[in-house]
Structure 1
Amino acid sequence: MKNLKIYYIYHSCFVVETKNYLIVFDYFKKSLKNRDDDISLDEKILNTKKKVLVFSSHSHYDHFNKEIFSWKNKFGIIEYVLSSDIVFNNELQNCHKICEDEVLYISGVKIKAYGSTDLGVSFLVEIDGVKILHSGDLNWWYWKDDTPDEEKHMKEYYQKIIEQIRINNSIDIAFFPVDPRLEEFCYLGGEYFAEKVKPKIMIPMHFDENFYICKEFKEKIVRFNVEGALIEKTNFLLKLKTNI
């Protein structure tokens, strides 16, 4: 899509800009500008004339910051889509709660919530003809100190959710956790997702500033004919080859 732009902000926060919309996923905190010509998140929202939607997949501190509610006072009308575990003032306007398996239609956008192997949900957003999955904390969390029962439960739970996504939807872009704390297992969930779901593009997240992750993940999923994204720094406009 000619008008599609994707910016990496920090951790699991991305801004996706389509022809008619600007979406913010899982704002956590502002990263420092790397150069004078970097575009900050505030500036991006402030200068847009497009409809703005802000998503938070769950209440963990590194995926949700209540600062997002102050944006509406600065930037005009914003629609918020929040996982049902997030507590907020019910009097706030344009805030929509969503649970697993629920579907919302907001401002011409279809939003489907899938499950997560941690807290909250994962989002499938159909917008301007593009299907975007933001996984939140949906991942195959394989920790070395897990018991055999914990390993079995995680594997089955994760694969069940991935199958639900696979049979119901084709995905253009998937934001997916590739967490270096899992050490040699950090690519396990992402590789499985690439093999089974086969999105056109997978964009790693949840790696903070361990940017080496991106190159390694890209090399691992190429055998599934899935493009991986290289992210070089925060506040970064991604350069993608696949035409969506």
Structure 2
Amino acid sequence: MEKFELYYIYHSCFALETKNYFLIFDYFKMPLKEKNDDISLEDKILQTDKKVIIFSSHNHHDHFNKDIFNWKNLNSSITYILSSDITIENKQGNYFRLNKGETLELDGISLTTYDSTDIGVSFLIKVDGIKVFHAGDLNWWYWKDDTKEEERAMREHFQGIVGKVSEHQDIDLALFPIDPRLEEFCFLGGEYFANKVHPKIMVPMHFDDNFFITEEFKERIVKFKVKGISIKKTNSSLL
């Protein structure tokens, strides 16, 4: 696996730095800055000499913020890769809108989109010798008040998508939702994904400020021989 650095911004937003790129996933909002922050989007990433690509998996407010389009004022060469449910005004040549099941070859990266169990897409990206999966809102959304029919439909939909992703048994890094609102079922989707796909490293997201949950998830996926990463704070370097 080639060298890379991963920064956790907030919620489902990460910045991945490789040899030639900065990839930013599902920007929602900037958390309050602290003196010991490891990363600054504005200073270190958006004004870098590396190629910057912004990904948004769907239009939910906690995964997409139209402020990302203002970042062109800091870096005019930014490329945007967006789910097709996101509306773009004044679309330019460096904007791409993708449905599930599409592929894209762009500036040295290879991209495939997969379905979600909510709306939008999930992303599988190969960049600088690294294969990374960002799930968006793909998860086993098992709510306690689901009917039997709803639970079955969700289970089959989720497992079907993961079955397609599992054809890639060489994923280096997977970013996956672990949502505490699901209570005792919050690890269900993540553990299933770890067991079926076996990414080398798996990082939780979509947990807001419930950092404690990341350590438990790390411990739970050891049995699948998947390395987990616990997260202590926002704007932090993870890898």
SS of 1:100's equivalent?
Answer: coil
| Structure 1 partner of 2:200 | 200
| Structure 2 partner of 1:238 | 238
> Are 1:98 and 2:98 counterparts?
yes
Q: Which amino acid aligns with 2:152?
A: K
- The one-character-per-residue Cα deviations of 1:82-141 (angstroms, maximum 9, x if unpaired) are 000001115333100111110011111101000000010000010001100000000000
| Structure 2 partner of 1:226 | 226
Q: Name stretches of at least 5 consecutive residues in structure 1 with no aligned partner.
A: 240-244
Q: How many Å apart are 1:35 and its aligned residue?
A: 1.8
Distance in 2, Cα, partners of 1:43 & 1:3: 22
Distance in 2, Cα, partners of 1:71 & 1:47: 9
Q: Which amino acid aligns with 1:56?
A: S
Distance in 2, Cα, partners of 1:36 & 1:144: 39
- The one-character-per-residue Cα deviations of 1:123-171 (angstroms, maximum 9, x if unpaired) are 0010001100000000000000110000000000000000001124521
| Structure 2 partner of 1:214 | 214
SS of 2:74's equivalent?
Answer: helix
How is 1:1-244 mapped onto 2 (pairs within 5 angstroms)? 1=1, 3-36=3-36, 38-239=38-239
Q: Which amino acid aligns with 2:154?
A: M
Distance in 2, Cα, partners of 1:36 & 1:203: 22
SS of 1:157's equivalent?
Answer: helix
Q: Which amino acid aligns with 1:178?
A: I
Percent same amino acid among aligned pairs?
Answer: 58
- The one-character-per-residue Cα deviations of 1:45-103 (angstroms, maximum 9, x if unpaired) are 24411000000000000000000011012122001000000011153331001111100
Distance in 2, Cα, partners of 1:122 & 1:148: 26
Distance in 1, Cα, partners of 2:123 & 2:65: 18
Distance in 2, Cα, partners of 1:206 & 1:218: 15
Distance in 1, Cα, partners of 2:114 & 2:46: 31
Distance in 2, Cα, partners of 1:2 & 1:151: 39
Q: Runs (4+) of structure 1 moved beyond 4 Å?
A: none
Distance in 1, Cα, partners of 2:17 & 2:218: 23
Distance in 2, Cα, partners of 1:85 & 1:160: 22
Residues 3 and 17 of structure 1 are in contact (CA less than 8 Å); yes or no, is this contact kept in structure 2?
A: no
SS of 2:184's equivalent?
Answer: helix
Residues 34 and 234 of structure 1 are in contact (CA less than 8 Å); yes or no, is this contact kept in structure 2?
A: no
| Structure 2 partner of 1:242 | none
Q: Name stretches of at least 5 consecutive residues in structure 2 with no aligned partner.
A: none
Aligned length: 239
Q: Which amino acid aligns with 1:86?
A: I
Distance in 2, Cα, partners of 1:107 & 1:162: 27
Residues 45 and 75 of structure 1 are in contact (CA less than 8 Å); yes or no, is this contact kept in structure 2?
A: no
Q: How many Å apart are 1:209 and its aligned residue?
A: 1.2
Distance in 2, Cα, partners of 1:168 & 1:220: 22
